[in-house]
Structure 1
Amino acid sequence: MLLATVPVSVARAQSPSPSATPAIAARVLAPGAALDAAVQAATLVDAGRAGELWDGASPVAKRAVTREAFIAGITAARQRHGTLADRQWLSVSRQFHDGKQGAPAGHYVSVELLARASGGRSVRELVSLRIDEDGTARLSGYVVE
């Protein structure tokens, strides 16, 4: 998985209501804000601006991959698929990782997009956002299949 962050205006996560259960008492990012951030990230990749994604990366993401490796990985993955168009969202989901199974501990939101590639093939993009300690959602992953 390639990791990065969105240097665009991603909404700050909101604190939950007092009635929220302890299991979901972490900050929550609204699904619409997550979708907007994911589309913004994909649009930057479309424009060949993957370096800007890494520049705004979550510290967790920056520790996982160098800027050069991130740009090279995204560029190679996207070149295999050609130009992407007609993006539609498939899912928006929240996850909590405890840090024991690979992903750094924290709250994440994943957005799955479906796009049409050159030649009419369907391509799936997965954009992951991490709610950093300051409450800001930053892109923590981008995968295209």
Structure 2
Amino acid sequence: MKSISSVYRLAATCMFTAFSILAHAAPAGASPDQLLQEATLVLQQIDASQYTALWQETVPFVRSAYTADSFAKGLTQSRQSLGTIDHRSWASITRLTYLHDKSVPDGVYANVDYATQLRDGRIVYEKVSFQLASDGRWLFTGYAPRQDQVAAMQP
């Protein structure tokens, strides 16, 4: 008959193995919660005009296309076009894979789209876009406010 301690050891080993398998089963960047968290942080940086810090955390192809100043100028204009935000609610999360596309490097991308209510009562949409880095982190690629959701699926 097995002792209680050996049964506990066996159970602990089985649980460790199961958790290890589950941890390795989910591909990097698979969590929608992770994307929502990243998008929320980006929007907080944009709202606080922390454009230089955000530029430093963008994907390399964005940093090579824009200087920190031109990046900040573009985000400032985009964000100011909205006005005062009352609240945001995420509307959709879309993952896209691009291969051999002329506009963006190959990779996995994601868009987090928000329905944003402005203080004046209007509803606008904000798209925050990311590329999945090789280390599993989502790196910022772009921000696009707009009046409707038509362009929500494009990177």
Once the two structures are aligned, what percentage of the paired residues are identical? 28
Quote how far apart the aligned CAs of 1:99 are. 3.2
What's 1:135 paired with? 136
Q: Could you tell me how far apart the structure 1 residues matched to 2:62 and 2:30 are? A: 18
Quote how far apart the aligned CAs of 1:64 are. 2.6
Q: Could you tell me how far apart the structure 2 residues matched to 1:114 and 1:53 are? A: 22
Quote how far apart the aligned CAs of 1:135 are. 2.3
Q: Name the TM-score, length of structure 2 as normaliser.
A: 0.72
Q: Is the 8 A contact 1:81 1:118 kept in 2?
A: no
Q: Is the 8 A contact 1:115 1:123 kept in 2?
A: yes
Q: Is the 8 A contact 2:124 2:145 kept in 1?
A: yes
Report matched runs for 1:1-145 at 5 Å: 17=25, 27-145=28-146
Q: Could you tell me how far apart the structure 1 residues matched to 2:102 and 2:24 are? A: 26
Alpha-carbon RMSD: 1.9
For structure 1, the residue ranges without an aligned partner over 5 or more in a row are 1-14, 19-25
Quote how far apart the aligned CAs of 1:40 are. 1.1
Which amino acid in structure 1 is aligned with residue 65 of structure 2? A
User: Computing the radius of gyration over CA atoms, which structure comes out larger, 1 or 2?
Assistant: 2
1:50–1:85: structure 2 CA closer, same or farther, 3 Å change rule?
farther
Which amino acid in structure 2 is aligned with residue 50 of structure 1? Y
Quote how far apart the aligned CAs of 1:16 are. 6.6
Q: Name the TM-score, length of structure 1 as normaliser.
A: 0.77
Q: Could you tell me how far apart the structure 2 residues matched to 1:111 and 1:136 are? A: 15
| Structure 1 stretch displaced more, 26-35 or 71-80 | 26-35
Q: Is the 8 A contact 1:46 1:84 kept in 2?
A: no
| Structure 1 stretch displaced more, 115-124 or 87-96 | 115-124
Which whole-Å deviations, capped at 9, do the CAs of 1:14-51 have from their partners, x for residues lacking one? x8738xxxxxxx64331111011111111111111122
Q: Is the 8 A contact 1:46 1:83 kept in 2?
A: no
Q: Could you tell me how far apart the structure 2 residues matched to 1:16 and 1:96 are? A: 21
Quote how far apart the aligned CAs of 1:123 are. 1.6
Q: Could you tell me how far apart the structure 1 residues matched to 2:44 and 2:144 are? A: 14
Q: Is the 8 A contact 2:29 2:137 kept in 1?
A: no
Q: Could you tell me how far apart the structure 2 residues matched to 1:61 and 1:85 are? A: 30
| Structure 1 stretch displaced more, 72-81 or 55-64 | 55-64
